[in-house]
Amino acid sequence: MRGGGLRIYAVIYLVFLYLPILLLPVFAFNSSTIIAFPLASFTTEWFAELPRVPALRDALWVSLKIAVLTALVSTLLGVCAARAAARYRFAFKGTIMGLIMLPLVLPEIIVAVSLLVVFLQIGLPLGSLTVVLGHVLICTPFCVAILNGAFQSLDISLEEAAIDLGETGWSTFRLIILPLVMPGIISSLLIAFTISMDEFIIAFFLSGSEATLPVYLWGQLRFPQRLPVVMALGTLLVLASVVLLTIAEVARRRGVARRGQQDNGGFL
């Protein structure tokens, strides 16, 4: 076996990474209301309780709405930016792309309070819309990063070949570019959706009275008797994330295969 010592380290590291997530279902199926060992008995009661909480349903609905909108808008913006970055030269390209990517490294609290200040000043009421605006801001860099890979690996002579064979700019986009970057678009949509579903700070500051799922969760964390239900909810969320991400990864790999390249792995 290669990399003996390192491999052991890697496995321990993975355990560290997965420890919290693996504990989720343990407590979600544990009948005790106290989140600690030793475990009591097995129960599905907490899962059964989930649909009976109206506030939870509302929050889920709000989050879904926000996440879908965010995914669509930020992927659209991401397509524009990635395409422009891959194909065109324009003045201040570095600065412009830098600004678009900046939210990736800006502390979220700063994004959140900055937006809060502006929205309050211009009198935009806090709610789902303001959260979407904030989420698009932080999701776009991720979309650009994913789509960059897809657009940059497109050989420009493919487009020229289509033009050469009589197609217009738009039909080339539709017939050649879009099919080739489609897997990237799908994984961009899914990842923006996932980030938005999970984002807390911005939603906390900007959601007003329309609590998103994480904001709702945050409120629940203060009530010890609600915790097992939170664990059940968390289990489902983790499951959903893993499914979505697996789809995104499969889409990405298929894209790599379709463009006939070597897989160099990984998101971002």
Partner 1 sequence: MVSAPFLYAVLLLAVPVAAIVMFSFWSQSYLDLDTTLTLKNYREAAADPIYGQLLARSLWISLVVTVITVVTAFPIAYFISFHVAPGHKSLWIFLVTIPFWTSYLIRVFLWKVILGYNGVLNSGLLGIGVIDAPLTFILYNLNAVVITLAHAFAPFAILPIFVSLERIDRSLLEAALDLGETKVSAFLRVTLPLAMPGIVAAVLIVFIPTIGDYVTPRLVGGPGGLMIANMIQTQFLKLNNAPMGAALAVIAMIMVTVVATAFVLLNRRFLKGRS
Partner 2 sequence: MALISLSGIDKYYGTYHALRDISLEIEGGEFFSLLGPSGCGKTTLLRTIAGFETPDKGVLTIDGRDMARVSANRRPTNMVFQSYAIFPHLTVAQNVGFGLRRSDLTKAEKAREVGAALEMVGLGGYGARAAHALSGGQRQRVALARALILKPKVLLLDEPLSALDKKMREQMQSELRQLQRQVGITFVLVTHDQEEALIMSDRIAVMFEGEIAQLATPQDLYLRPNSRRVGEFIGMMNLIPGRMDRDGSQMIGDIPGLGRLPIVPDLLTDGQGPGDCTFGIRPESMSLVFNGELPTGKFVDGTVVERAYYGDMTYYEVLLDGGTAPVTCSMKNLVSRPVLDAGARTRLAWEPGALIVFDAA
Smaller CB separation from partner 2, 45 or 155: 155
10 Å CB burial of residue 32 (0-12, 13-18, 19+) is middle
Q: Which is nearer to partner 1, 45 or 263 (CB)?
A: 263
Contact assessment for residue 108 and residue 205, using Cβ atoms and an 8 Å cutoff: no
Rounded to a whole number of angstroms, the minimum distance from the CB of residue 253 to partner 2 is 14
Burial of 62 (0-12, 13-18, 19+ CB in 10 A): buried
DSSP state, residue 254: H
39 contact choice in partner 1, partner 2, none (CB below 5 to 8 Å, kind-dependent):
none
Enumerate residues 183-202 that contact partner 1 by CB under 8 A: 191, 194, 198, 200-201
CB 176 to partner 2: min, Å: 6
Distance in angstroms between the alpha carbons of the first and the last residue of the chain: 29
**Phi and psi angles of residue 43, each rounded to the nearest 5 degrees, phi first:** -150, 155
Query: Which of 79, 206 has the CB closer to partner 2?
Result: 79
Nearest to 116 by CA among 130, 102, 101: 130
**What is the footprint of partner 1 within residues 58-117 (CB under 8 A)?**
76-78, 80-81, 83-85, 88, 90, 96-97, 99-100, 102-111, 113-117
Dihedral (CA of 221, 224, 230, 231) sign: positive
Residues lying near partner 2 in the complex (CB under 8 A) are found at 155, 157-158, 160-168, 175-176, 179-180, 258-260
Q: Is 123 in the site for partner 1 (CB under 8 A)?
A: no
Q: Quote the CA–CA distance of 217 and 103 in Å, as a whole number.
A: 24
Q: Of 202-261, which residues contact partner 1 (CB under 8 A)?
A: 204-205, 214, 217-218, 221, 230, 234, 237-238, 241-242, 245, 249, 253
Find the shortest distance in angstroms from Cβ 7 to partner 1.
7
User: Toward partner 2, which CB reaches closer, 34 or 257?
Assistant: 257
